[in-house]
């Protein structure tokens, strides 16, 4: 993606609102087809590029603009690369790295995911405490939903808040952003529940979720090196009343299509990865990564593999496919 002046046709690779030469508006250009004009194989590691060999491609898009891209795959000069919708499989995990701005990266992530099939009356629940996630990412998510047909009155943000203090803090965060201040904040601890049997388990589900057409989880990346990890699975299990451990077991046994959870979209904010050891010492890594997918177990499996932490035994049979504009580069983000 780059930005082009509507008048003088000057271009920029970083976000800009108006042309610095003629002060006219600029438009986003999203190329989808690239031709490899040259390539260089790098054999010597450097800072942030420890894994070698890799190749740097010089690309020309369908508009004649040139780009560079790092890759671990083998290509030849003259070959064509296409960036199209990546989420062909329910197990696909889309990854993207922030280059210049969160806005630009989020736009690329949603574009690669493909259409969400949202209607005016679609009920959407966003699972986020608002306090442990960046409000800017939440704003971009809501803005994307509205641009795709959702209505403000049909979007709620919720979590099982521990106490009134947490709710007050969340309300303050939402009130600080005009777009978020219009949304309803829900405490799932106070919501009425309905018991639904599925297979051999009983699920106490907040009625608000039963009536939702889409459930979006917004989860910051926090993993542990000394314990089994199931990031989004645990996040979902926390919505249901009762013991989180037993809920996790039941959630993990759900097939992709099930009558318990609405259609899912899982967004992981991994810009700063928090990884703690057995002494609860946190190690943070700035990866500048965002991940998006539809299958929460595939997402959990992917995070454990990429960040080299133990996965929960419940994820043993889960599979994932990593995709995105730079999916072959994101082999070992930390």
Q: Spell out the alpha helix ranges (H) of the chain.
A: 102-113, 135-147, 164-175, 178-181, 207-210, 231-237, 244-252, 296-306
Q: Is the pLDDT of residue 334 over 80?
A: no
The reported pTM is: 0.84
Q: Is 170 helix (H, G, I), strand (E, B) or coil?
A: helix
Q: What is the CATH number of the domain that holds 297?
A: 3.40.50
CB 212 within 8 A of CB 260: no
Q: Which residues sit opposite 156 in a β-bridge?
A: 125, 184
**Number of domains within the chain:** 2
- pLDDT tens, position by position, 189-200: 888 888 889 888
Least confident range from 117-126, 285-294, 322-331: namely: 322-331
Q: Is the pLDDT of residue 184 over 80?
A: yes
Give the CA radius of gyration of the chain: 21
Within-domain flag for 331: no
pLDDT-based confidence at residue 244 (cuts at 50, 70, 90) = low
Within-domain flag for 133: yes
Within-domain flag for 178: yes
**Same domain as 319, residue 205:** yes
**Same domain as 161, residue 245:** yes
- pLDDT tens, position by position, 246-275: 788 888 888 988 889 999 999 999 998 888
* Cα–Cα distance for residue pair 25/10, rounded to 1 Å: 11
Could you tell me what percent of the chain has a pLDDT over 90?
Answer: 43
- pLDDT tens, position by position, 13-39: 888 889 999 999 999 888 888 999 999
Least confident range from 79-88, 149-158, 309-318: namely: 79-88
Domain range for residue 36? 2-82
Tell me the HSE value of 81 on the side-chain side, using a 13 A CA sphere: 24
* Cα–Cα distance for residue pair 186/65, rounded to 1 Å: 47
Q: Give the list of residues 6+ apart from residue 324 with CB closer than 8 angstroms, or none.
A: 86, 94, 95, 96, 109, 112, 330
Q: Spell out the alpha helix ranges (H) of 8-115.
A: 102-113
């Amino acid at each position: 993606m780059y930005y082009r002046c509507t008048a003088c046709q000057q271009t920029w690779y970083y976000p800009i609102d108006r042309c610095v030469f003629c002060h006219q508006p600029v438009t986003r250009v999203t190329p989808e087809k690239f031709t490899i004009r040259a390539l260089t194989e790098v054999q010597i590691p450097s800072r942030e590029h420890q894994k070698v060999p890799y190749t740097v491609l010089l690309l020309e898009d369908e508009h004649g603009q040139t780009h560079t891209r790092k890759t671990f795959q083998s290509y030849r000069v003259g070959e064509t690369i296409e960036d199209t919708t990546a989420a062909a499989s329910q197990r696909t995990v889309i990854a993207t790295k922030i280059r210049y701005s969160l806005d630009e990266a989020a736009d690329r992530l949603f574009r690669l995911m493909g259409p969400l099939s949202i209607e005016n009356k679609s009920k959407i629940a966003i699972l986020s405490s608002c306090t442990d996630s960046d409000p800017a990412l939440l704003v971009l998510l809501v803005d994307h939903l509205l641009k795709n047909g959702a209505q403000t009155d049909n979007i709620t943000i919720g979590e099982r808040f521990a106490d009134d203090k947490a709710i007050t803090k969340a309300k303050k965060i939402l009130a600080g952003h005009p777009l978020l201040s219009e949304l309803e904040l829900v405490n799932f601890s106070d919501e009425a529940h309905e018991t639904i049997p599925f297979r051999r388990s009983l699920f106490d589900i907040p009625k608000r979720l039963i009536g939702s057409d889409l459930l979006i989880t917004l989860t910051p990346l926090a993993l542990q090196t000394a314990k089994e990890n199931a990031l989004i699975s645990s996040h979902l299990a926390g919505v249901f009343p009762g013991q989180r451990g037993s809920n996790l077991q039941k959630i993990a046994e759900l097939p992709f299509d099930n009558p318990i959870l609405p259609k899912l979209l899982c967004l992981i904010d991994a810009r700063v990865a928090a990884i703690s050891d057995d002494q609860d010492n946190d190690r943070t890594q700035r990866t500048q990564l965002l991940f998006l997918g539809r299958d929460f177990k595939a997402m959990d499996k992917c995070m454990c593999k990429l960040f080299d932490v133990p996965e929960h035994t419940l994820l043993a049979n889960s599979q994932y496919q990593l995709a995105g504009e730079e999916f072959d580069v994101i082999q070992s983000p930390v």
